[in-house]
Structure formats: C-alpha cells, structure tokens
C-alpha cells in the first residue's frame, strides 16, 4: 500500500519510502566514516588559554613562536611559591602549556 502526502513545498512524498540501493548505502556509510575520522573529532588544549578545540583548528606552538610576544606583559604573572617564605618572582615571557602540541 502506498500513501502519497503533500507537504508544505508541494512535493509528493511516497510512504513508505523505497528501499535504498547498495550505492546509496555505501555513500551513506562512507560519509559517516569520514565525519568520524580521527582528524575531525580529535581535540587538544590550546597552549595559551587551555580551551579544548578541534586539532584541525589549532596551530603548533613552534609555527607561531614569533607572534607570542603579545602575551608578554610585565607585572601580570608570578612563579608559583612552594611555601610562604619563598620570594615573589615574576614569570618572564608568555605563560604557555608546552605539553600541548
């Protein structure tokens, strides 16, 4: 039994739909695999702000090292003190997480 419905765009829709052929099934499976590829879903932390972002949107720190001078502002950062008797020391240069790629 086939029912034809009219939707808001005046296109006839057949219900139930016809069975998908092997080419369509292959195309759907291939597109799903591409979207689930490691390069599309892998995330890493930003070296500057630690926010998780897709790896494909990040740059390696070594590729932008000449642009990091804008992160160096005197009087903003301090080196961690291990006890209350340690001297206050300022962190020189940009504060980055070099474990991030």
Separation in Å, CA 69 to CA 4, 16, 30, 42, 58: 66, 63, 44, 28, 18
Q: What pLDDT band is residue 3 in, cutting at 50, 70 and 90? A: low
Q: What is the pLDDT of residue 22?
A: 93
Query: Is the sign of the CA dihedral 24, 27, 30, 32 positive or negative?
Result: negative
Q: What is the pLDDT of residue 4?
A: 54
Would the pLDDT of 8 be above 70?
Answer: no
Alpha carbons 72 and 65: distance in angstroms, whole number: 12
């Amino acid at each position: 039994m086939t029912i034809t419905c009219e939707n808001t765009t005046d296109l006839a829709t057949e219900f139930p739909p016809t069975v998908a052929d092997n080419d369509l099934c292959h195309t759907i499976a291939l597109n799903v695999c591409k979207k689930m590829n490691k390069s599309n879903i892998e995330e890493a932390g930003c070296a500057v702000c630690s926010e998780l972002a897709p790896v494909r949107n990040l740059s390696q720190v070594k590729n932008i090292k000449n642009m990091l001078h804008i992160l160096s502002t005197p009087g903003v950062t301090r080196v961690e003190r291990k006890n209350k008797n340690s001297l206050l020391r300022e962190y020189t240069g940009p504060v980055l997480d070099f474990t991030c790629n």
